[in-house]
A and B are shown apart, each in its own frame.
Chain A
C-alpha cells in the first residue's frame, strides 16, 4: 500500500510537470499578437498565415495639444480622410469638430470648430463624414444640419449642398448625409441616411443629378411564390424587400468609386462602380468579395461580415473593414483575397466598433468610434512581399514577381497566389513540368491545363519516332501472326 502511494506521487508529480511545461509554451505564444491572421484557400478552408500587418501605434485625442491646450479625447469619431498633401482629417463627430493631424500623426495642424459662412460664424452639428478634394477643399457631411459643407483652406464656405430637389425624391425626404467623397471633377458623392436608392451624386455646382450604383433587390422565385399565395393583410405584415444602404465610399485615381455595403448573405460587401454607376468588381476564384466565407452559426459573433468602410490603396489593391468581427480584408484587382487581419477586443491593436479605415503611406489606420482612437498597423515582411508581388503583377511584370513569390512561399508554404504566380512564370519560361506542379498547388486549373497541353505536345514530339516505330512493329507482328495461323490452318486441312 505504501509503495503504491509513492508510485502515485511520482506519477502526479510527472503530470504536474508536463502540464506546467506545456502551458508555459502556450502563454509564451499568446502575447505576440491580439488577433489571428488567416486566409481562405480554394476549398474555402481556413489556412493560417503569418501576420501581414502588426499594430504599431494607437493614437487618441489625449495625446495632442493644440495652441497650448490639451486637445481632449475624441468623441465617437466616425470618419477619417487622407488629403493629397498627406494631412489626416478626422471627423470628431461627438465634439462637432474636424481635427487635422500631420502625416506622422505627431502634431495637430488645425482644429475646425467654426467657419465663415458668408460673413457669419457657423458650426457643425454631428459632422459624420469628411473628405478633401484634389484642390484642397474640405467636404464635410454635416449630418444633423442636413447639409454638406464645402470649405476652402481658410474655413470660408465655398458651397453648401442642402435640400436636394428632384422628382425622384420623396416629398418627405430628409437629407442626412453620412459619408461624402469627391472625384477629380469635383462631383460630390454622398451616402445619405435611409436612402436606399443608391449614392447621391451632386454636380460641382451643388445640383443633385442622379442616384448612383443602385443595389437591386433580388427576389427569389420561392419568395415570389409565397407572395402570390399570401393575402393582402399577410403581405402587409411581411418583411419588406429593401436593398441595403451603402456604408463607406472611396475613389481611385481613375475615377472608379469603391463603395462598401452590408450584405446579409456575405457574398458582396463592396462594389466598384464605373462612371455610369455600374458595378464592375471582379469576385475572384471563390466568387466572393464579402469578407469571411465561414459564416454559419447562431451566435452574435457568427454571420456575414459587415463592411463599414473601404479604402482604395494602390495598384488595384483595396481593403475593407468588417465591423462585425473587426477584421480587415484586403483584395486585389481580380478579387483574390490577399490577407485578413485584425480583431475585436480591448487589447491594444483591436477594435470595439471599427468605423473607418485609411491607408496612410503604406500604413493602415483604423478609426474606432467607441474607443475614440486610431489604431495604426504597419506591414510585416509577409504583407510587404504580397503587396509588392501583386503590384508587379498589376503592372504586368509577372516574371519579376517570381523572386518575391518564392520568398512568400518560404513564409507561407501553401499560399495559392504565390504558387500560381510562380507557376505562371515557369509556364512563360517554358518549363512546363514545374509549371504544372506549382499551378496544381495554386489550384489554377486554366493555366494548369495550358501547361499540361504544352507538356503533352513536348513529350509527343520528343518520342514520336519511338511511338510510330512501336506501332509499326506491332502491326507487322499482328499481320505476321495472322498469316502464320492461316498457313498452319491450311496445312492442318
Chain B
C-alpha cells in the first residue's frame, strides 16, 4: 500500500465503508488504513456538519445562522475526536485490546464518512422538500448517523479483536475515562493558572518596588 493519501488508501477506505468487518480487520493486521486520511475525514465531517446547519433550506432549518461558527465547530469536533481516541486507547490497553492508537483513530475517522455523505446529501435534498416531506430528510440523516455509529462500533470491535459485548463494555468505560480526562484537564488548567498568577504577582510586586 502506498503513502498516506495514495489511491489505494482511498479505495480501501470505501471498501471499508461497504465491508466494515473485513476492512477493519486488514487495517489492523496489514496497515491498509491511513491516519492522515482519517483525520481529513473528520475535518470534512465537521465542514459538512457546519454546511448543513448553515445551508439547509429554510423549511427544515430553524437555526440562527449567527450562532454557527465554522472554526469553533471544527475545533470542537477535532477535540472530541482526540478525546474519544485517547480515552478508548487508554481503556483498551488495560483490557487486552489488540488495537494501537493509530487503529482506533482510523476506526473512528472512517466511521464519520457515511455521516459526511449524508450531511451533504440531505443539505442538497433539503432544497427541494416542503414541510410535509420533512420526514424523509430526518430519516436520511438518522440512517446516516446510525450507519456511522455502527461502523465505529464494528471498527473498534475488529481492531481490538473483541466480542460485541466486550466492545460495548469498553465503550461505557471509555465514556468514564473521557470524563476523567476532562476533569484532569480542568484541574491542570486551574493549577497552571494558579502558577501563572503566582509568578505574575511576583512580577508585579517587583515592578512596584523597583
| Interface presence of A279 (CB below 8 A) | no
Instruction: Contacts A453-B130, A456-B128, A456-B130 given; indicate if A448 touches B58 (C-beta within 8 A).
Output: yes
* Residue A445, interface by CB 8 Å: yes
Q: Are B64 and A449 closer than 8 Å at their CB atoms?
A: no
Measured CB to CB, the nearest residue on chain B to A44 is B64
B59 at the interface (CB under 8 A from A): yes
Please tell me if the beta carbons of B128 and A448 are within 8 angstroms of each other in the complex: no
Chain B residue with the shortest CB-CB distance to A455: B130
Interface residues of A in 425-450 (CB under 8 A from B): 440, 445-446, 448-450
**Interface assignment of A48: CB less than 8 Å from any CB of chain B:** no
- A453→B131 CA distance, assembly (Å): 8
- State which residues 118-176 of B face A: CB under 8 Å: 128, 130-132
Q: Identify whether the interface residues of A are mostly helix, strand, loop, or mixed.
A: helix
Q: Which residues of B contact A445 (CB under 8 A)?
A: 58-59, 62, 131
Identify the closest chain A residue to B61 (Cβ). Answer: A445
A43 within 8 A of B: yes
Contact check, B59 vs A452: say whether CB atoms are below 8 A apart: yes
> What are the residues of chain A within 8 A of B131 when measuring CB–CB?
445-446, 449-450, 453
Q: For residue A448, which residues in chain B have a CB less than 8 angstroms away from its CB?
A: 58-59
For A446, the closest partner residue in chain B by CB is B131
B62 cross-chain contacts in A, Cβ below 8 A: 445
Cβ–Cβ < 8 Å partners of A449 in chain B = 59, 130-132
**Residue with the highest number of chain A CB atoms closer than 10 Å, among B59, B130, B132:** B130
The chain B residue with its CB closest to the CB of A454 is B130
Interface residues of A, count at CB 8 A: 10
> What distance in Å separates the Cβ of A423 from its nearest Cβ neighbour in chain B?
12
A residues less than 8 Å from B64 (CB atoms): 43
Question: Which partner residue on chain B sits nearest A449 by CB separation?
Answer: B131
Which residues of chain B are within 8 angstroms of A446 by Cβ–Cβ distance?
Answer: 131
| A450 CA / B66 CA spacing, docked (Å) | 26
Q: A298 to nearest B CB, angstroms?
A: 25
Q: How many Å lie between the Cα of A331 and that of B130 in the bound state?
A: 30
For A446, A449, A456, which residue has the most chain B Cβ atoms within 10 angstroms?
A449
A440 in contact with B58 (CB, 8 Å): yes
> Smallest CB-CB separation from A439: which chain B residue?
B58
Interface residue count on the B side (C-beta < 8 Å): 9
A348–B59 Cα gap in the complex (Å)? 47
B residues 40-70 with Cβ under 8 Å of A?
Answer: 58-59, 62, 64, 66
Q: Compute how far the CA of A446 lies from the CA of B64 in the bound complex, rounded to whole angstroms.
A: 17
Chain B hits for A43, CB < 8 A: 64, 66
Minimum C-beta distance from B128 to chain A (A)? 7
B27 to chain A minimum Cβ distance, whole angstroms, is: 35
Closest to B130 in A: A453
Contacts of A456 in B (CB 8 A): 128, 130
Interface residues in B12-34 (C-beta closer than 8 Å to A): none
Bound: A242/B62 CA distance, A: 37
B128 contacts across to A, CB distance below 8 A: 456
| In the bound complex, CA of A449 to CA of B62 (Å) | 13
- In the complex, chain A residues whose CB is within 8 Å of the CB of B66: 43
Contacts of A453 on B, CB cut-off 8 Å?
130-131
In the complex, residue of chain B having the shortest beta-carbon distance to the beta carbon of A459 = B128
Please give, as numbers and ranges, the residues of chain A lying within 8 Å of B59 by CB-CB distance. 445, 448-449, 452
Contact with B along A445-477 (1 / 0, CB 8 A): 110111011001000000000000000000000
Q: In the complex, what's the smallest C-beta–C-beta distance from B177 to chain A, in angstroms?
A: 30
What residues on B are CB-neighbors of A452 within 8 Å?
59, 130
A305 to chain B, nearest CB (A): 24
Shortest CB–CB separation between residue A419 and chain B, in angstroms?
13
Task: Map CB proximity to B onto A42-61 as digits: 1 under 8 Å, 0 otherwise.
Answer: 01000000000000000000
Q: In A182-198, which residues have CB < 8 Å from any B CB? A: none
A449 to chain B, nearest CB (A): 3
Task: Write the nearest CB–CB distance from A42 to chain B, whole angstroms.
Answer: 9
A449 to B59, CA, bound (A): 6
Measured CB to CB, the closest approach of chain A to B135, in angstroms, equals: 13
Closest CB of chain A to B62's CB: distance in Å?
Answer: 8
A446 and B66 CA atoms in complex are apart in Å by 22
Minimum distance in angstroms from A456 CB to a CB of chain B: 7
Q: Which residue of A lies closest to B58 (CB)?
A: A440
CA distance A448 to B58 in the complex (A): 8
A residues near B58, Cβ cutoff 8 Å: 440, 445, 448
Least CB distance from A46 to B in Å reads 14
How far, in whole Å, are A440 and B61 apart by their CA atoms in the complex? 12
Q: Which residue of A lies closest to B62 (CB)?
A: A445
Contact with A along B55-99 (1 / 0, CB 8 A): 000110010101000000000000000000000000000000000
Report the separation of the CA atoms of residues A448 and B130 in the bound assembly, to the nearest whole angstrom: 9
Mark each residue of chain A from 471 to 491: 1 if its CB lies under 8 Å from any CB of chain B, else 0: 000000000000000000000
With a CB–CB cut-off of 8 A, which chain B residues contact A440?
58
Nearest-CB residue, chain B, relative to A436 = B58
Residue numbers in A under 8 Å from B130 (CB-CB): 449-450, 452-453, 456
Interface residues of A in 348-404 (CB under 8 A from B): none
| CA–CA, A117 and B206, complex, Å | 88
Q: Give Cα A43–Cα B62 distance, bound, in whole angstroms.
A: 10
Kindly state the separation between the CA atoms of A456 and B127 in the bound complex, as whole angstroms: 10
7 closest A-B pairs (Cβ-Cβ)? A449-B131, A453-B130, A449-B130, A449-B59, A43-B64, A440-B58, A452-B130
* 22 A-B contacts (beta carbon < 8 Å): A43-B64, A43-B66, A440-B58, A445-B58, A445-B59, A445-B62, A445-B131, A446-B131, A448-B58, A448-B59, A449-B59, A449-B130, A449-B131, A449-B132, A450-B130, A450-B131, A452-B59, A452-B130, A453-B130, A453-B131, A456-B128, A456-B130
Not counting A445-B59, A446-B131, A452-B130, a sample of 12 additional A-B residue pairs whose C-beta atoms are within 8 angstroms of each other reads A43-B66, A440-B58, A445-B58, A445-B131, A449-B59, A449-B130, A449-B131, A449-B132, A450-B130, A450-B131, A452-B59, A456-B130
